[in-house]
Homo-oligomer: A and B are copies of this chain.
Amino acid sequence: MSSPAALFTDRSGWAPDGPPRAVVRARTVADVQRTLAEASRTGTPVVTRGAGTGLAGGAVAGPEAIVLDVSGLDRILGIDPVDGIARVEPGVVTAELDRAAAEHGLMYAPDPGSVAICTVGGNIATNAGGLRGAKYGVTRDSVLALDVVLADGTLLRLGRDTVKGVVGLDLAGLVVGSEGTLGVVVGATLRLLPRPTRVTTAVAYFASVAAAAGAATALGAAGLRPAVLELVDGKTLAAIDELRGTGHAGRGAALLLVQADGFGAGEEIAAVAAVLGRTARSVETTEDAGTAAALSAARRDALPAIEAKGRALIEDIAVPRSRLADAVDGVHAIAAATGTDVFVFAHAGDGNLHPIILLGPGTAPGAIPPAARRAADDIFALALALGGTVSAEHGVGLLKRAWLERELGPDVLALQRRVKAVFDPAGILNPGKAI
């Protein structure tokens, strides 16, 4: 952690009123148990954090809270290559787990944008997704068992070591995505998958973002479910050109990046290219890793290119796949109506859009100008109107609390809160977040 402030904020831009009551840097499971038992006794809020890469304010801690930093619990305890299982502590950086798995010919599938710096524990807290999600799912799909410390300090093991199991309720799955409100994850048993030996890549440019979104939908309709299916809009392409000196914007007003892996990857990408070719301006495919890296740089550069222009709100809606073009069109209309700068890239295979609202120069840290706030609200309303959700993979945290009841309804929200109370009767675990 570079500065004390970095210990009670995250990447959401949300600023707490002041420093927390205390910061505990846990080195052992017993540290976590002691901290929670004491906090329960005194009724003190506890905000658990890993690397602080969250985008929804879930790890932001107010002055009344204890910050429980578990990033020091960072060991990979074991990898069993035959069973395809890893046992890790929560502070392990996601990309490092994937690298360790690679030594055994395996991969850890979840790969959020922040994979190089985020931790497995944070991924579990938010049920993080990523680029490979179209084929390999989200973090919950990779979790077999969790070691969880409850609010009173009790250590429980939830889940199991086998791929299948139906004994009891799926409490491990329930903890995934609960944003630190049910317990503190101090260990995880995770699935590893065979590392694909072949990856093929296609990049296509389109005359409009609607055409690109339509092509993404057409892939699904053709029965094609590639491992990666990403969309980048023209505004974002222009930002990348500005940052990197590339010439994307001259080639089209939107880009689709598609990757297939495993047996038949070449044949699959040929089928993909045939569908894209119906409406694309150009389609390029490659089986060469170096060329693929160059082709896919546009997607990897998208967020850095926008953030180079200034502070931004990173949104995270999802809609049914068939509504992808409507969603992109709607976001652009909202940008025009609110006079905001909104960039869009998307995990198109999942119907998951990231509209990025630029806050403009001179915006104070922690402040969100009214036009940007209105744009964000309109984007959330659009997501719900299209049958979607206000958060696909970043979480609710603090930022989307106002939308929680609107999406879930009062009865479901009340039920969720009653379930939380079972795990945390004193309400000390990340209060005021997520649910």
Contacts and interface: CB of A to CB of B under 8 A. Distances in A.
A321 interface: yes
A194 B224 contact: yes
A420 B161 contact: no
Contact of A176 (B170, B171, B224, B396): B170
A307 interface: no
Interface string A392-403: 111110001001
A106 B225 CA distance: 12
A173 interface: yes
Contacts of A163: 318, 321, 350-352
**Number of chain copies forming the complex:** 2
Contacts of A105: 223
A423 B141 CA distance: 25
Contact of A174 (B174, B408, B411): B174
A11 B328 CA distance: 51
A308 interface: no
A10 to B, nearest CB: 15
Contacts of A262: 264, 268
A395 B167 CA distance: 6
A421 B169 CA distance: 13
Interface stretch (A32-40, A76-84, A274-282, A293-301): A76-84
A183 to B, nearest CB: 10
Interface stretch (A92-100, A151-159, A245-253, A369-377): A151-159
Contact of A164 (B133, B225, B419, B420): B133
Interface residues on A, range: 35 or more
Interface stretch (A12-20, A61-69, A231-239, A382-390): A382-390
A419 B420 contact: no
Contacts of A157: 409, 412
A360 B265 CA distance: 51
A322 B168 contact: no
A392 B165 CA distance: 4
A164 B80 contact: no
A363 interface: no
A225 B157 CA distance: 28
A423 B318 CA distance: 28
A45 to B, nearest CB: 19
A25 interface: no
Contacts of A83: 220, 320-322
A174 B167 contact: no
5 contacts: A105-B223, A162-B320, A171-B419, A262-B264, A264-B268
Interface of A: 80-85, 105-106, 126-127, 129, 133, 137-138, 140-141, 150, 154, 156-158, 160-171, 173-174, 176-178, 182, 193-195, 197, 217, 220-221, 223-225, 260, 262-265, 267-268, 271, 318-322, 347, 350-352, 387-396, 400, 403-404, 407-409, 411-413, 415-416, 418-423, 434-435
Given A82-B217, A138-B164, 11 more contacts: A82-B221, A83-B321, A84-B321, A162-B351, A162-B387, A166-B395, A167-B403, A167-B404, A168-B396, A171-B415, A197-B223
